[in-house]
Structure 1
Amino acid sequence: YRRGIFFIENVAVRNLARRFGTPLYIYSAGYIRDRISELFDAFAPVNPLICYSVKANGNLKVLRIIGKVGCGADVVSGGELAKAIKSGIPASRIVYAGVGKTHEEIISGIRAGIFLFTVESMEELVEINALARKFGRKTACSFRVNLNVDVDTHHYTRTAKAETKFGLPLKDMAALFQKRKKFTGIEFAGIQFHLGSQIKESAPYVEALRKLRRFLTSIRFSPRILDIGGGFGIPYMAGEKVESIFSFGEKICSIIKRDFNVEKVILEPGRFIVGNAGILVARIIYSKKTNSRNFLITDAAMNDLIRPSLYSSYHLILPEKFSSGRKCS
């Protein structure tokens, strides 16, 4: 706030609302660049490839900002792949994840020359191998392992427990690697895990890396690529405790440097980069009083901001003009 008026960077929100109307998304390019700079600094000891998770915000202008500062992209569909490439992110910095890659999407990834596919099942590996051989390519793949690591986050966004659809259980992964010579179209390049979203402390990553090291030793596999996913948490309210990204980086890099002899480390952050980078501006159009509650009706709805309705997440609401002594909630 400046003299009671809400600004984003050096622009008054009211001026943008008048120019473009509401509801209106406004994002700070400076904030996005700063978060990416923090990630590069925090994980500097392992010189990471940061592949921004496009699902977090696939706006082309946001993607262009992210691509121009050296990031790649983590995509989960043909549409996200097309957006990433159109925004100028080189295919050589794109990783293709997701449990449901279609025949056509795998072909688009191979033809584009992406950095690698993240494999989630044996059937998917068979499909990628067949298409790679058809196109005369040796396709790099990273294999997502389900380490059955619990995290303190909403149960909708826990992705590393045994009951989830993500990744291969350790037993199945071990069996797959015993058969790897038959997949002549595949380079077994890396190993990947993703623990979930909005993770506020580094301890689960430390546990996952230690568990992964023991597993890799047991199957005698030395990946040249290690992908630890994303999920780094952010604060949504004043006083919310979230471990700093520099603490995350220090602890994670220490284990990687000591226990993993890899050529490349990949991070796949999304929320950390854009979650607090923007606002949704809405206009109150009606007030409605009932016997039990009073409502303010806005021109924005759950189609513009689904998270509170989807899993009861918290979002701070602030007035565009703030008067001294006025309560905001």
Structure 2
Amino acid sequence: MLEIGKRGGVGQRDVWEAADALLLTGFRPTVERIRGQIGRGSPNTVGPHLDSWFKALGSRIQDPAAFCASPGAPDAVTQAARTFWEAALTAARQACTDELTQDREALAQEAASIEKERADLAGQRIRLADAAETQQTLIDTLKTQVEDARASLNATAAERVSLIASHERQIVQLHVERETLEGRLGAADEKLVALQNELSAVKSGCDRDIKEALLRFDQARSEARVAQNALAELRQHASAQETALASLTKQLAAAEAEQKIAIKAKVSLENAVAAEKAEALEVKSKVQTLETDLRQAEAVEATLQAALDAERSRAGELALLLGNSQGEIVQALRSLEQSNKDSPAGLDPRRRTTKRKRGIPMR
């Protein structure tokens, strides 16, 4: 028996009828759809009745009479009930199939989400483990630093006590030095008076020096003006030089282009030089052969020169002997001529003619 709702309320029958109607139209019964179908009812009231409808749906599908008309109903009502049952059965099957597909998709998505969450949790667990290890390392480091700081603090405290004692000794020494300095200060006051007198004298001299320095400053200012004019001229000259530099830069670019051409020419020249070097090596080999021949010729020439020198020496000796012989002959002729002059026959012209014909020179 279906429970009928109280007056103004929603009962189990209302919910079941609305669910059957939604199922016949091809929609899955939900709390919101049933509330929209009925037009009233809270989720807390509709929800339990809908759950009982889903629980009874299987048994109602297995019992065709659950959706059939009563035995005393007219044929039209029976036929309508049968049609209603078949349509409800088809719709229920389709709804179950769609719901099963949706549930499978939802389960697949949920499984993927769970797997992702599991991976995230694993990564988070690893990060937490790393963080815990890092924290533990940091804690160990901080403990070490605290112990070091404590030891350093103890050493600092001991050093501070030592410094305080040293400062107290220094204070006593400073008192002694203060008394000594007070005595020196009295002497310094006297010296200060003397120095003030000297300062007055020096000040008067400084005034004179300042006046002279002002005069020199005016002169330097005039010279500075001249220097500024010269600087302006130098700037103009520098501008001209910059213009010339720009021109030289262009010329340098052209020279670089020419240098590239020269490099190509140099490569060609180097190739030619290499060929010439090969020829030079060949010529050098020939020159070495000629030098060998020349040395041999020089050796022969030296031998001939030695022989020639020997012949020249002999010729010199022969010339010397010939000169001596000629001197003796001339001396003999002179003696003969002198003797002819001294003899009476020497006055005969015919004798002189005879001598001339014979080739004897006449004196």
Tell me the TM-score normalized by structure 2. 0.15
Structure ranking higher in helix proportion:
2
- Structure with higher Rg: it is 2
Relative contact order, higher structure (CA 8 A, sep 6+): 1
TM-score after normalising by structure 1:
0.16
More strand by proportion, 1 or 2?
A: 1
